[in-house]
Each structure stands twice: as C-alpha cells, then as structure tokens.
Structure 1
Amino acid sequence: MIQYPNAKINLGLHITSKRPDGYHEIVSCLYPLPLCDALEIIPSKKTTFDSTGIPIPGKEQDNLILKAYKLLRKDFPDLPPIAVHLHKVIPIGAGLGGGSADAGFALTLMNRLFDLFLDDWLLEEYAEKLGSDCPFFIQNTPKLVSGRGEIMKDIPLDLSGKWIVLINPNIHISTQEAYAGVTPKAPIHDLKQVLSDPAKWKDELINDFEQSIFEKYPMLKKVKHSLYAKGAFYAAMSGSGSTLFGLFDQEPHFGKSEEGFFVYEGLF
C-alpha cells in the first residue's frame, strides 16, 4: 500500500513561554502543502527499511516510521513484520515537517493496511508520542495549534487556487539553535483574527524565529525579500527554517535562482 506524505508550512509562529519540561508553548497555524514524499508499506517476512531520493541521516532505529510501527505493535502484537520503502522528496530539517508527515502517514497507512479501525483521535495519541507536529498529519487539514503543537483546532482557511514557492538554501538550522535566539512573549496580534484577513498578513503574520535567524543568516532575509520582489502577497520562514515560502495569486515562474538551492513551485 502506498501513500504520499505531504509537507506543511507555518502561517505565523509565536513562542509564548517555556514549559517546566523544557519544551516551549507555541501558537501557530499549520497548513498542508502539495509537496510530497512517497511511502510504501507491505507485510513481509521481516521488518526492513530502505529509501531513495534525498539521503536520510541518522540510525535506522531512530526512524520515525519504524517507531510508529513499534508503537502499534505494542498494542497489536499480531501485526506482521513490514517492508518499508520511502522515496524522500521533502527537504530534511527544513521547517516543512517532512519526517513528521512520514510518521503520521505511516500510522494511517498501517491502520488501513491491517484493518485496525482506529479513530483519528486515537491515531493522534500515537502520533503525539512520536513528535509535536506528527498529530497534525492524521487529519491533514488546516489547524490552529498550541501547547507543544499537539493541541489542534480546525480553522476555515482555504488557499485553493493560490500558488506557493518554496526556497531552501541548504542551510541547516537545528531546533536548539532556533529556540536559543528567541525570548518567549505573548503575541501582539491574535493569530486567528490576522488569518481571517490576508491583507494583514504581510505586516501582522509573524514568525518569531525570523528576527534572530535572519541576523545570523542574512541570506535567508534576502530570499524573503526576493519572494516579495517577485510578487508574493505573503512571504515568511516556515517553522524554525531554513525554508522560505511565498504565496502568490498567479503562477510565479520562479525557477532555480541560485545553484544548490531547493526550489519548488506548486498550486494549492
């Protein structure tokens, strides 16, 4: 069985406080993108994992897809071994949620493949154990998120017919590095109200990571300005970076502006 885990962007991202457990409280809007990996899972004689496309760093035992399988097998010990193949397209560590998407989609795929009949709320509980963004990909619809990102509410936001350009200049920014430059604070504007009026987005839809990260990596600020120069009605960094995205009313024909950059254009 094959599914196509998609990326996400953050529309606004506020770091509001640091929690006693070391995590941060956030407020953000997650929105699914048409950029996808390809994930195949089939029953097998023994559990294996292989991948093509973008190389996946790290040890196999740390792979979120295999962790998702092990979580399910704790409660469903009769699950057979699986063979997993992942074709990786979404840039890794780029603020696009690619690893979280692979994990979330693996849960929904195995739920269907093995007729587990688990409701979304229960799949989201499994996904929360894998990572803060993972629950979002169970329903995979626009959400206002809070807490660590696991508290989700539906939001009537529709970008259908709009175009998106993603530019990733292959700068790796760790989550630890991103949070180190941020002082948590209450947002100036209510995110839900801002999202209801796209005319306010350029001035009021803020990613709190941008200020410190742009100071450290001026190239990212230049990329954001280039998106506006090409006609984007909104441009921002997604998550903790380093991907920048621009939203356009018309097809932008951006193309690869710099050698080595990952550039993607797509229609919502």
Structure 2
Amino acid sequence: MTDPSRLTLPAPAKLNRLLHITGRRDDGYHLLQTLFQFLDHGDTLTFRESSDERLELDSPLAEMADDDNLVLRAARRLQQRSGTSCGARIRLHKTLPMGGGLGGGSSDAATTLHGLNRLWRLGLRTPELAEIGLELGADVPVFVHGHAAWAEGIGEQLTRVELDTPWFLVIHPGVNVSTPTVFKDPELTRDTPPITITRALQGGASGWRNDCEATVRRLYPAVDAALDWLGSRAPTMLTGTGACVFARLESQAEAASLARELPVAWQAFVARGVNRSPLQDALDR
C-alpha cells in the first residue's frame, strides 16, 4: 500500500542542444537563446513528511552551506510562499556531477517544489511553482514545467518544442566548471545575432552550437580533450557551460559501444533524450 507521507521522484538531467549568447544586460546577466531537452537519467529525491516544520536534508551535499543548497532553499521558499507549517525529511541520491552543465541543482530544486507541493497537499499550480523556481535560478522553471523548450531572455522565457529523441553518450572529464568564471571571461562570445525559433528548428542539430564552448576549451584543458576525443567519433557539443560533453548517436547499442572505449580518467553515462520530463511522468503515476 502506498505511504501518503512518503514520496520518491526523479530529478532528470538536461542538455543544451543549442546555446547562443546574444547580449548582456546592465545587471550583468547574459541574454540567451537555447534549446533545453531532458534525459532519462538523473538524481532521485525522497520526501517524508515530518511532524513539525523542520526541514532536514540527507545527501552527499549536506556539508554545503544552506544558502548554496538549492534543495533546502526551494523547500524554505515554498514554506514561506504557502504559509504552511509542514516540514519534511529529504533524502537526495546524487548522480549528476556538480559543475557539469546538466542542470542537476536546478532539477533538484524543481523536483523539491513539485514533491513538497504534493506531499504537503498545497495545491499550487505549475505556473506558481515556476514563479518560485525563478527566484532560485533561471534554469529552474524549465524543470518545473517539464517539457523540452526554446528559452530566451536569461533562460526563463519558455516555448514548448518537440525535438528528436536520439541516444546520447555524456562524458564528464573530471573537472568542475565555474559558470561565473565562464560568463565573466572577456573573450566569451556575447554578440551572436538572435534567430527565430523557427529558424533554429529548421536548421536542425547539424547546425547547432554552444557559444560557451571556445571559452571553456581554453580555460579547462580536460574539457578540451574530451571534446576532441568524442568529436572524432560522433557529432559532439558542450552542454551549458560544461564540464559535460555529449555525442548524439542513433542507438543505445552504438552509445554503449562508444562508452566502452572511454579513457579511464573520465566518467560517462548513456541516456535517451526525452521531450517530456521523467518528473512529469512520475507525478502522473
């Protein structure tokens, strides 16, 4: 029998299958155009309702300062916004690497908002949760809405899209890329002309690129090496600001075969691209 006081949900990874930087606002935030797609691979969170309003987190990141922990920040923001007196014990099973460009922290925050909204029976709608999520980070709303999207602005203006759903080999070359460092770099491309969503989709994956890639290659030799190794075998791109790189492949078997050739210093996983988030599938079950 299902325990109504306990809920386990996925927090899937994302890929940026295209990432253009079109400008910079006066407040320092960069203006982007990007295509977000989910993977059927990610972290897992378990929520258990507590008898008081305390929030407790059990995870490999428990030593992280509370102000930097997006799971606890999301839970507290939801408590404050809803006025609930409920609390929870949260267990985070961390699979996605930090600083990998896979959106792990943002995805964990979105799953926390959905999970506690369900566990605490708050009844908040998805747009309300996305609004809370935006206060935590520009990537959080796409995980809350749970569908592949064309994003503009600082990444918060979302339009649902349907992308192809190939298999991917995703490599983490063992370094943690600092997003602020990449975005502060004076040589970062910041003047790509904006394009329409129609043009982006008509161009297809063969024409997609990541404007952060040249900067990350220069600053992080391990990422440069991973891009060269994988790019010599299949169409390859950096996701987000890195450090993960991914290759688009036609089958799971092809991706798994390539993974077996991987240099021992790197980690990798095989996953399929999906347009509907595994979180949404889990919430509907």
- Tell me if TM exceeds 0.5: yes
Which residue number in structure 2 is paired with residue 95 of structure 1? 101
Q: How does 1:1-268 map to 2 (within 5 A)?
A: 1-45=7-51, 46-52=54-60, 55=61, 58-159=64-165, 162-179=166-183, 180=185, 181-187=187-193, 190=196, 192-198=198-204, 201-202=205-206, 204-230=207-233, 232=234, 234-250=235-251, 251-252=253-254, 253-255=257-259, 257-268=262-273
1:66 Cα deviation from its structure 2 partner: 1.2
Aligned length: 259
Given residue 117 of structure 1, which amino acid in structure 2 is its aligned partner? G
1:226 Cα deviation from its structure 2 partner: 2.7
Mapped to 2, the partners of 1:156 and 1:215 lie a distance apart of 33
Task: List gaps (5 residues or longer) in structure 1.
Answer: none
1:76 Cα deviation from its structure 2 partner: 2.5
Given residue 211 of structure 2, which amino acid in structure 1 is its aligned partner? D
CA-to-aligned-CA distance 1:111-151 (integer Å, 9 cap, x gap): 11122221111111000001010001012211000111111
CA-to-aligned-CA distance 1:54-97 (integer Å, 9 cap, x gap): x5662134311111111111132333121010000011111000
Mapped to 1, the partners of 2:180 and 2:198 lie a distance apart of 27
Query: CA RMSD of the aligned region, Å?
Result: 1.9
TM-score (norm 2): 0.84
Given residue 264 of structure 2, which amino acid in structure 1 is its aligned partner? E
User: Equivalent residue of 1:213, what SS?
Assistant: helix
TM-score (norm 1): 0.89
Task: List gaps (5 residues or longer) in structure 2.
Answer: 1-6, 274-285
Range with bigger deviation, 169-178 or 102-111: 169-178
Aligned-residue sequence identity (percent) comes to 28
User: Equivalent residue of 2:59, what SS?
Assistant: strand
Mapped to 2, the partners of 1:4 and 1:188 lie a distance apart of 34
Mapped to 1, the partners of 2:135 and 2:271 lie a distance apart of 31
